[in-house]
Amino acid sequence: MDFQAGYLRSSIGRKTIVAITGIILFGFVFVHMLGNLQIFQEPDKINTYAEFLHNLGGLLWLARGILLVAFVLHVYYALKLSLENKKARPVGYVKESTIQATLSSRYMALTGSVLLAFVIYHLLHFTIGKIQPENFALQETIGDKQRHDVYSMVILGFKNVYVSISYIVAMTLLAFHLRHGVTSVFQSLGFNTTFWAPKTNAFAILYALTIFIGNVSMPVAILLNFVKVPGAQ
């Protein structure tokens, strides 16, 4: 029995893949937030950070490729497990519980779709520069060279109330997914015992709140003019 026919077709194998890819994505979300929080420091901090990432060249694209593969595998096997669990459930099995599970599944699919749309928008906005290209084109002069002025780009982007509101809504949905996703990862790895369950549940809540507060603090601070482009009123 080869790997594809055996391990990947087993429930344990699929749960393990979902758990491992989930950990990769959770780690990225946290590191990405830490990098963005440099917006609360002087402009040089986040601009130097962005320049460092850009100068990684092939390594940056390798990291992006790993994240893309992790994302695709995570979504694919999570959906397969969800569909298989639904098929395996007996027709007359606790009617109320079945209805609750169905509603939860539909809600997660809807919020997941919104998050996917937001990720595409976010990439077009701050990574590719197809949205508000005039902000993306801003440059900072350092000595005799210029570099991308990420600091001003982010602030001017979030100065748009609709952009900030969409970001806050997306971060709310992300926190919801992380709250359930982190718990599910721990369960898949066997930490669903009486001893570990309360601890992993508390960690999932703390992690989701940390990501939510950290990410939402940026557009809120910019809208309230606590963070602004140097020289701006």
Query: Domain range spanning residue 182?
Result: 13-87+106-224
CA distances 160 to 26, 119, 150, 157, 184, Å, are: 28, 18, 16, 6, 36
Residue written as token pair 């996703």: 181
The tens digit of pLDDT for each residue in 146-189 reads 999 999 999 999 999 999 999 999 999 999 888 888 888 888 77
The pLDDT of residue 181:
83
Looking at the structure of the chain, the number of domains it has is 1
The two structure tokens encoding residue 39? 């917006």
Judge whether 1 lies within some domain. no
Judge whether 92 lies within some domain. no
Mean pLDDT (10-residue bins), the chain, 233 residues: 60 83 93 96 95 91 91 81 67 45 50 80 92 93 88 96 95 88 83 87 94 97 92 64
Judge whether 229 lies within some domain. no
Measured distance between the N- and C-terminal CA atoms of the chain, rounded to whole angstroms? 68
The dihedral region occupied by 57, where left means phi > 0, alpha psi between -120 and 50, and beta the remainder, is: left
Judge whether 5 lies within some domain. no
The pLDDT of residue 41:
95
Is 214 in contact with 205 (CB distance < 8 Å)?
Answer: no
CA distances 82 to 2, 30, 126, Å, are: 24, 26, 33
Cα(44)–Cα(27) distance, integer angstroms: 25
Judge whether 230 lies within some domain. no
The dihedral region occupied by 190, where left means phi > 0, alpha psi between -120 and 50, and beta the remainder, is: left
Q: ∠142-35-210 over CA atoms, to 5°? A: 155
The pLDDT of residue 88:
64
Judge whether 74 lies within some domain. yes
Judge whether 56 lies within some domain. yes
Judge whether 57 lies within some domain. yes
Return the amino acid letter for 48.
T
As a three-state string, the secondary structure of 124-144 is HHHHHCCCCHHHHCCEEEECC
The two structure tokens encoding residue 64? 């992006």
pTM for the model stands at 0.84
